[in-house]
A and B are shown apart, each in its own frame.
Chain A
Amino acid sequence: QVQVVESGGGVVQPGRSLRLSCAASGFTFSTYAMHWVRQAPGKGLEWVAVISYDGGNKYYADSVRGRFTISRDNFKNTLYLQMNSLRAEDTAVYYCARDRQWLLAFDIWGQGTMVTVSS
């Protein structure tokens, strides 16, 4: 079935790095833009970044620009989020989501992976 599965979360100290992965299956990954969305504990949803189907266009939320990098490997059907210079306020569940049509809607979501930034 159509699904995306995130991995790579964990506990990391402030200032360190972490890379999240999102494995896609059940659809032609290379034809869809993909997003990362996060949710801090007890808080609302926050859009993080998007990458176009071919990786040619990438956009980031102001809160992560310059620290996070979104990328994809269409041969491995995998989306990535490289997170550098992590801060306590980056603590959240990170969701991978498929873009139904460029920036129109997130139609497939993973179950999320938790990232905790703490010393």
Chain B
Amino acid sequence: SSELTQDPAVSVALGQTVRITCQGDSLRTYYTSWYQQKPGQAPVLVIYGRNNRPSGIPDRFSGSSSGDTASLTITGAQAEDEADYYCNSRDSSGNHLVFGGGTKLTVL
């Protein structure tokens, strides 16, 4: 299996842009998906594939990838974006999935 590494915590000023990263060897091969989780709630898919947003996800959320690193960018962060964010992708076997450790986003 492979690991996905995320920064444990990131902060951003209200209205500013923040990038949350996810690093792992398997990201050179497979797409990353991103999930937002607020306290006491189930995760919500925010970005998947090359850079796709499910219906209802604001367009301030975007995704990108380069080499072994995938990024989730929030352009103009809002107070309601404060949450834990998890990346997910396949591992090197291609048949298993793995989550990053999660990044706690604080909006100041």
Contact = CB atoms under 8 A, between A and B. Distances in A.
Interface of A: 35, 37, 44-47, 50, 59-62, 95, 100, 103-107, 109-112
Interface in B60-108: 84, 86, 88, 90, 94-102
Interface of B: 1, 31, 33, 35, 37, 42-45, 48-49, 54, 84, 86, 88, 90, 94-102
Contact of A61 (B31, B42, B96): B96
Contact of A50 (B1, B54, B88, B97): B97
B42 to A, nearest CB: 4
Given A44-B102, A59-B96, A105 B33 contact: yes
Given A44-B86, A47-B98, A62-B1, A106 B43 contact: yes
13 contacts: A44-B102, A45-B35, A45-B99, A46-B99, A47-B97, A50-B97, A59-B96, A60-B96, A100-B45, A103-B97, A104-B31, A105-B88, A109-B44
